[in-house]
Amino acid sequence: MTKEDHFKKLVAHCKEHGFVFPSSEIYDGLGAVYDYGQLGVELKNNIKRYWWESMVRLHDNVVGLDSAIFMHPTVWKASGHVDAFNDPMIDNKDSKKRYRVDVLIEEQIDKYDEQIEREIEKAAALPGDEFNEIIFRHTDPRVREYTKRRDELSIRLSQALQDDDFDHLRQIIIDNKIVCPVSGTCNWTEVRQFNLMFATEMGFAAEGSNKIFLRPETAQGIFVNFLNVQKSGRMKIPFGIAQVGKAFRNEIVARQFIFRMREFEQMEMQFFVRPGTELEWFNHWKESRMKWHRALGFNAGDYRFHDHEKLAHYANAATDIEYRFPFGFKEVEGIHSRTDFDLRRHQEFSGKKIQYFDPELNESFTPHVVETSIGLDRMFLQVISAAYYEDEVIKKKSSTAKETRVVLGLPPALAPVKLAVMPLVKKNGLPEKATEILDQLRFDFNCQYDDKDSIGRRYRRQDAIGTPFCITVDYSTLTDNNVTIRYRDSMQQERVDVEDLPAFLKEKTDMKTLLRQLY
């Protein structure tokens, strides 16, 4: 299966099984806005819980917050979003489509990477001596040429972005013959800046309406509450404030499903530290966040750091945790050392002193901030991309015919449904026994009852939504109180006493199993 097919199947799967739907679909949808269905909301809530509990519950010095989406308009002046939350855009004159320039160029870089990977795959598949990838990368003329082009392009892009040089950005597009994906032409306009914030109005016209913005990040809600939380919680530096909430950006390039949305959720933590210690904390959080991702048990080679060469004017270090999505390595989370920029700016614009008195140093200062910022929806896409696979299984025990099994190999703690309870047949007291078991378990675990179709088909349905365990209630259950438990991944089956089910499920599916790996 090509990566493109894999991604298309994933998107279709999300809709077919009630994970993600296009917003207002009966009206043909709304660009880059999505709704989470009955299983999607469960998975999303579990991811959110994994983040929240690892941040707030496992750290004595991190507390939560839920600030409002609407904020005083001056917040966005102080934060720099009114003046600088812009992206350089370019329009294709033939298709009339608008693109983010850095994204267009990065896609070209990805294409070189794909060409390199393809050459390597082809060479590795040839019969002969043992294949040495490192030597091949250094000696194959085609790979060397693609690598050279990719590296040159990458250097030019970061230089042009660093200098805010729009002519240079446009020239890169022309020199690399980057075409519009829709029209296929190179007929580009000049590069221009567009602000990404959504604006609305607060109050009635008679009162004099005020333009306000839908927040483009949750972080500012944390900064403006720094003093409130620090004082009311008697927090001592270093400490962090964590928040999960909606953010809105009028993204121009809104593609790749829920990767880039106009309305999305962020999980952000701002960690306040003594000036001069921020790089130490930056490295601490960098490692800590990667550990959080890796604890999910997906392929470790699919994650990497991308340290920023071009730093925002307020940052003194920044990195992204990238995941190998079906469309290439892309950012899932950003970790930024934001200096004292935000608190200083809010102090300046509000006229209120925003400082911390350090009793050990006996001095006041503006704390520096290290931020970890991850998109909940993007994390959802990462999890589901990593979890989706197809394998070939024997159709029936009695035959050798095979069928394709679609599986969401979700970590059990994140799976929307932990257990499906299935009576073997819909009669002779089996449904009643299955319901009795379900009624005992439903208070602790999200369970489903399924008595339709053959057991094989019921297993397939549960595999497709990532349910880690299915139990079958059969005639023996009525006498020995044992059920057959079937594992999603190995498809192994074993008999378990109904009395042991709560402990079994707790051990296998509890969030604690993930959190323990972090502590």
Segment interacting with ligand ATP (CB under 6 A) among 173-181, 273-281, 297-305, 330-338: 330-338
The 10 Å Cβ neighbour count of residue 501 is 20
Judged by beta carbon, residue 161 or residue 491, the one nearer ligand ATP is: 161
- Nearest-angstrom CA–CA distance, 33 and 152: 36
Identity of the residue numbered 363: E
Name the DSSP class of 57. I
CB 373 within 8 A of CB 336: yes
- Tell me the closest approach of the beta carbon of residue 333 to ligand ATP, in angstroms: 5
How far is it, in rounded angstroms, from Cα 502 to Cα 262? 41
Among 378, 405, 418, 461, binds ligand ATP (CB under 6 A): 378
Tokens of 280: 């130490």
End-to-end CA distance of the chain: 38
CA atoms within 13 A on the CB side of 503: 5
Nearest Cα neighbor of 267 from 287, 237, 293, 300 is 293
Q: Taking the complex as a whole, how short is the minimal distance between the CB of residue 388 and ligand ATP, in angstroms?
A: 19
* Minimum distance, C-beta of residue 396 to ligand ATP, in the bound complex (Å): 43
Half-sphere exposure of 67 (CA within 13 A, CB side): 25
Nearest residue (CB) to ligand ATP, 94 versus 251: 251
Tell me the closest approach of the beta carbon of residue 276 to ligand ATP, in angstroms.
24
| Residue 473 makes contact with ligand ATP by CB under 6 A | no
Nearer to ligand ATP, 156 or 249 (CB): 249
**Residue 249 interacts with ligand ATP (CB under 6 A): yes or no:** yes
Closer to ligand ATP at the Cβ: 91 or 265? 265
Q: Is 333 in the site for ligand ATP (CB under 6 A)?
A: yes
Nearer to ligand ATP, 91 or 333 (CB): 333
Nearest to 75 by CA among 255, 197, 238: 197
The Cα 330–Cα 102 span in angstroms is: 13
- How many residues line the site for ligand ATP (CB under 6 A)? 16
Position 374 contacts ligand ATP (CB under 6 A): yes
Query: 334, 409, 431, 466: which one contacts ligand ATP (CB under 6 A)?
Result: 334
For the bound state, the minimum distance from the C-beta of residue 337 to ligand ATP, rounded and expressed in Å, comes to 13
Q: Which of 53, 152, 302, 331 binds ligand ATP (CB under 6 A)?
A: 331
| Residue pair 89/194 in contact by the 8 Å Cβ criterion | yes
Residue 435 identity: T
The answer to whether 119 contacts ligand ATP (rule: CB under 6 A) is: no
Q: Is the peptide bond before 367 cis (omega within 30 degrees of 0)?
A: no
To ligand ATP, the closest distance from the beta carbon of 383 in angstroms equals 13
Nearest approach in angstroms of CB 327 to ligand ATP is: 12
Write down the least CB distance from residue 382 to ligand ATP, Å. 9
Report the residue closest to ligand ATP, judged by CB. 375
Match 């140093």 to its residue by tokens: 361
Between CA 363 and CA 272 the distance in angstroms is: 16
Label residue 428 left, alpha or beta by phi (over 0 means left) and psi (-120 to 50 means alpha).
left
Site pattern 257..296 for ligand ATP (x: CB under 6 A): ---xx--x-x------------------------------
For position 244 contacting ligand ATP by CB under 6 A, the verdict is: no
φ/ψ of 451, rounded to 5, equals -125, 15
Supply the minimum distance, in Å, between the C-beta of residue 215 and ligand ATP.
Answer: 12
Binding site for ligand ATP (CB under 6 A): 217, 249, 251, 260-261, 264, 266, 331-334, 373-375, 377-378
